[in-house]
Amino acid sequence: MTEHDRLERTGPGTDFDFKNDVLAEFKSQTGLTEQTVRLISAEKDEPEWMLQRRLDALERYRQLPMPEGWPGQPDLSEIDVDGIVPYLRPDLETDDSVDSWEELPDDIAATFDRLGIPEAEKQALSGAGAQYESEVVYQNMQDHLEEQGVIFCDMDTAVQEHPELVREHFMTTCVPPSDNKFAALHGAVWSGGSFVYVPEGVTVEMPLQAYFRMNAEGMGQFEHKIVIAEPDSELHLIEGCSAPHYGTHNLHSGCVEVFVGEGAHVQYSTVQNWSTNTYNLNTKRAIVEADGTMEWVSGSMGSKATMLYPASVLKGPGATDNHITIAFAGEGQNIDTGAKVYHNAPDTHSTVESKSISKDGGRTNYRGLVHIADGAEDASTSVECDALMFDNESTSDTMPYMEIQESKVDVAHEATVGKIGDEDVFYLQSRGLDDDDAKQMIVAGFIEPLTEELPIEYAVEMNRLIELEMEGSLG
C-alpha cells in the first residue's frame, strides 16, 4: 500500500480538501439500472426482503419527478445520475470492516487522522464509526455500553444480525421511498451507514460519532442511518461529512430515520463540510412519541448545492422538537436548508433557530414548514431566522410556511437580515483586533447558539471551518 500512501492537496486554505488515490476492491458501473441494484444487494449478501425493497424503491424513483419550481431552490439540472458510480467498496485488504484503528490501511487511516477522528474518539466519544466511499471501514464502541444492551454497528451488520429491527424500521413509516425522488434513489442503492439501538431506560452519557468521507471522483454516497431510542433512554449522535474537490460532480443522498420512544431524548448533530462540486440532498426525519424530545443541530458548509430539511413528527402528547441550524454559502454556492415540524398531538412544542451567513455572492435560504393538526390543542412553536451577509452581491431569503388547523395554539415567527455593521467592527478594532479578527469574532458570536450545543472538540472544529470558509473574503 505504500506506493499509494500519499495525500494530494487540491485547494488552498483548508485541511479538509484533500484526496487519496482511489483504491477499490469493487466498483459498480455508472448509472442506475435493475442490474446495478441487484449487484449491490448480492455483493452484500442481503436477504430477499431487502432486495425487494431496493427494487420497489427503484420503481418509485423512475416514477417521481425531480424537485423543481420552488422559489429560489438550487439548480439540480447538472446532476447526472447515469454518470455517477453508486457503489464503491474501498480496498481494505481484509474481508470486513475493522474494530481497531491500527488495522486500517495506511491511506484510509491517514485520511481520518487528518480530519481528527481518532483524537475525537479518544477525548469525547462513547463510540465511533467511519465510512469511506460506500462502506463502513471502522466501528467501535465502549464495552460498558454493549453490556447495557446498546447496539452501535454499521447497517450491513444490522441487516444480518438484527433483521427484525431493521425490517420493521427501514424506510417504512418514517421515510418511505415515496417521500421524494432522492429518497427513492437512496432506497434503491443505499450502502453503509450506522444502526443505533438504545434499550429502555439506558443513558449513553458521551456522544456516539458516525463520520462519512467521499474520496472518489464522480461517485454517489448513499449511507443510511437508523436510530431507535426506547422509552426513557437518552442519546447524542454526531455525524461528520466531507469530500475533496474534483472537476466533476459528486452526489450525496443519505437518509436518517430516528424513532424516539416515550420520554426518550435524542440529539442528532451534523457538521458537514462538502466540497463545492458536491450536491448534498439528504432526507432526515424523526417520529417522536409522548413526552419524547428530539433535537436537531445542523451545520451546513461547503457543497455546490444543499437541500436539507430535518423533520420531526410529534406523534404523542407532550412531545418536543428543537432545531438549531447554521448555513454558510460562498461564491457559487446555494445552501437551501430549514426544518419541518408536524404537531399531530396535543401539548406538543417546537422551536426552530436558524442562522445563515453568505459572502461573495453566495445564496442561503431558510425553507421551513410547521404544521399543527386539528385537535393538537395547546401546541406551541417558535421560529427564529437570522441572516448575516458580507456584501451586496450575496443573497439570503426566509420562506417559512405554517399550516395551523387548530385555534388553541401559540405560534411565533421572527426573522432578521443584516450586514456586518461598521460600528461593531470599529468597536472591536478599538480594543486591539484587526479587521479580519473583528469580523471573525462577530461571526463566532453569531453562530454561538449552535456551537454551544456541541462537545468542545466539535465546537472548535465548527468555528475553524467557518474561519476557513471566510479566508480570502475579509478585509
Question: Taking phi first (over 0 means left), then psi (-120 to 50 degrees means alpha), and beta for anything else, what does residue 19 get?
Answer: beta
Q: What is the DSSP letter of 106?
A: H
Q: Where are the domains of the chain?
A: 2-308, 422-475
CA–CA dist 40, 54 (Å, integer): 10
Q: Give the C-alpha distances (Å, rounded to integers) separating 98 from 150, 231, 341.
A: 19, 32, 38
Amino acid 188: pLDDT: 95
CA–CA dist 173, 178 (Å, integer): 11
Rg of the chain's alpha carbons, rounded to an integer?
22
Angle, helices 456-470/435-446, rounded to nearest 10 degrees: 130
Tell how strand 194-198 and strand 224-229 pair up.
parallel
pTM score: 0.81
- The distance in angstroms from the start CA to the end CA of the chain is 45
Cβ atoms 286, 252 nearer than 8 A:
no
Grid coordinates of 269? 448533530
Which residues in the chain land under pLDDT 50?
1-26, 91-98, 100-101, 104-105, 107-112, 114-118, 120-139, 215-218, 243-247, 472-475
Report the Cα 320 to chain-centroid distance in Å. 21
Cβ atoms 32, 189 nearer than 8 A:
yes
Amino acid 441: pLDDT: 77
Cβ atoms 265, 237 nearer than 8 A:
no
Q: Give 301-349 pLDDT, tens digit per residue.
A: 778 899 999 999 999 999 999 998 888 888 889 999 999 999 999 999 9
Report the Cα 460 to chain-centroid distance in Å. 18
Angle, helices 34-43/48-63, rounded to nearest 10 degrees: 150
Q: By C-alpha distance, which of 275, 346, 268, 348 is closest to 305?
A: 275
Residues in the chain: 475
Amino acid at 192: G
